[in-house]
Homo-oligomer: A and B are copies of this chain.
Amino acid sequence: MASPSKQITIASVCCAPVGSADFDEADAAELAKGFAALSDPVRLHLLSLVAAGGLNGACVCDLVEPSGRSQPTVSHHLKVLREAGLVTSEKRGTWAWYHVVPERLQQLRTALA
């Protein structure tokens, strides 16, 4: 009732009565899914590598060696990131290029405001 926003904010709102905040379970599940994708050091590493590629993105062939994992493992982690909406993939001939989705990152950041 007293919550100013329908969204989950996890903010430092002062002195609002506990338990009164309305909480959207669907939103929470969506956020949790995003954070779950970030809950592995290897995926954080992969995401930072992809992000470092900027607009060009990053080719999988350039991600396997620096991650220190096998090619199937890297492919698995990229799939997790993709299904969490954090990256997109694009086929260019033989190679697959990955890009970050800034809006999704922004969404997760906002939830921690």
Contact = CB atoms under 8 A, between A and B. Distances in A.
Copies of this chain assembled into the complex: 2
Interface residues of A, number: 56
Nearest to A21: B52
Interface in A5-54: 8-21, 23, 25, 28-29, 31-33, 35-36, 38-41, 43-45, 47-54
Given A36-B39, A52-B21, A105-B10, A31 B44 contact: yes
Contacts of A18: 49-50, 52-53, 56, 58-59, 62-63
Given A14-B55, A31-B41, 12 more contacts: A10-B47, A10-B51, A13-B54, A18-B53, A18-B56, A19-B49, A20-B52, A23-B45, A32-B41, A33-B39, A38-B39, A44-B111
